[in-house]
Amino acid sequence: MTIRHRFLFRLLAALLALAVLSGCGIRRKKYETPIATDSRQPDKTLFDKAVNDIEKSRYEVARLTLQTLINTYPDSEYLAKAKLAIADAWYRQGGTTALAQAEAEYKDFITFFPTMAEAGEAQLKVAMIHYQQMEKANRDATHARRADDEFKQLLLQFPNSPFVEEAKQRLREVQEVLAQHEFDVGQQYFIKGNPRAAILRLKDLTEQYPNFSQADDALWMMGQSFEKGGKDFQPKAAEVYAKIVSDYPLSDRVEPAKEKLKEWKLPVPDAKPEMYERQKYDLEHMERRGFFGRAMSAFSKRPDVSTASKAGEPVLLPAERPGDAGMTDVRAAPADAAGGTGIRLEAVPLSTETPTQPGQPPAAPTATQPPPATPAQPPAAQPPATPPPAQPQKPDSGGAPAEQATLTPPANTPAAAAAPSSDKPTEQPQPNNKNAKKKKEKKKKGK
């Protein structure tokens, strides 16, 4: 028997053995959280039947059985387990629609049973739903960001869960993908000669994802971008190079960074022991992908997380921008102000105030800022003094009618508001004595 025949014989034997084992049910995937009690109660019987259907991939039948348990026995002690099993059935079924339904069921379980031990597992499954749909760094980052949020939620809400370590490693892998996206964008800005945009991208990257596998390269490009801003930005560049030396002691960028600091006659910091140990652990446990694996990754939409850190605490909360500590931001200045081509970087203090318009001088900072003065309001129009009511006059008095006795408009009217204010009482029209005499004479003649 030749070597080729022996190989074919062994291959056929292995396939036959695999078929026998599959027929015996050995490959059946066990349910993670079964109920180990030996009860013969009807609700327990329904639950066991549903678990058996889940293990045999009969997910629709299992969900119907569990829903029957919930509707028939609303006070059952297995109610919480049944709701979790429905979510697990959707999760095992897979597919975009099923996973979305599973996420909703897990969220409901956490809402109604937040103190149960399985709540942490449910939160882990929610995060894994988005982790499994995560794409490469140069593609849509929606699922990566959702996975980042859900893993952080697990670590913050269930710090004593047995799934904390697994969640931390998955979170490092998710942050590796998110950081790779920011790194690629910042690198393009650096190559295209836009130092301001490169600094903003790379600065956020190094603050939010310090465990990124290329964080030292990001810091180096940020230091080079600061140097392009001129001597005014040399202290900022030195700060970045010092961070490379202290936080990434095993990096290839350490020696060039030390040379820069020595050239500027600045002190070279010592490496931090904890950072040295972390980098050493990552180098010793780095996953090495072969040629075939690297070639096949080009045809897969899943990201390569083999370079993700295996140690170090992931960042859970966004880093505070140290504006109160005297840190500065950067902005672009006109090219002619720089005395050459391109753009110049300007240091501006970090502030949350609304930027002023171009050409408008900024307000001088003060220790205690008084409240802004309200603009002077014009004095409200005072209603004119109302004269005493006119006394009715006899016809033979020769006086004017009562309705014509005053020329003051009524109060609370536009005419009253427009009328000039005066402290003197309104002058009353004096009756004409000649006219009065003529009227008397006409009346006497008539009589």
Instruction: Return contacts of 338-342, CB within 8 angstroms, 24+ apart.
Output: 338/230, 342/193
Contact 402, 383 (CB under 8 A): no
pTM (two decimals): 0.65
Angle (nearest 5°) at CA 132 between 49 and 19:
55
What is the average per-residue pLDDT within 26-50?
A: 71
DSSP string across 55-105: HTT-HHHHHHHHHHHHHH-TT-TTHHHHHHHHHHHHHHH-SHHHHHHHHHH
CA terminus-to-terminus distance, the chain: 163
Contact 163, 124 (CB under 8 A): yes
User: Residue 402's pLDDT band (boundaries 50, 70, 90)?
Assistant: very low
User: Residue 335's pLDDT band (boundaries 50, 70, 90)?
Assistant: very low
pLDDT for 126-168, tens place per residue? 999 999 999 999 899 999 999 999 999 999 999 999 999 999 9
What pLDDT does residue 302 have? 84
Helix (H, G, I), strand (E, B) or coil at 345: strand
What pLDDT does residue 19 have? 53
What is the average per-residue pLDDT within 75-93?
A: 94
Whether pLDDT at 109 is above 80? yes
Question: Mean pLDDT in the chain?
Answer: 76
pLDDT for 131-142, tens place per residue? 999 999 989 999
Domain ranges (residues) in the chain: 39-113
Which residues are CB-contacts of 220 (< 8 A; sequence separation ≥ 6)? 240, 244, 253, 256, 257
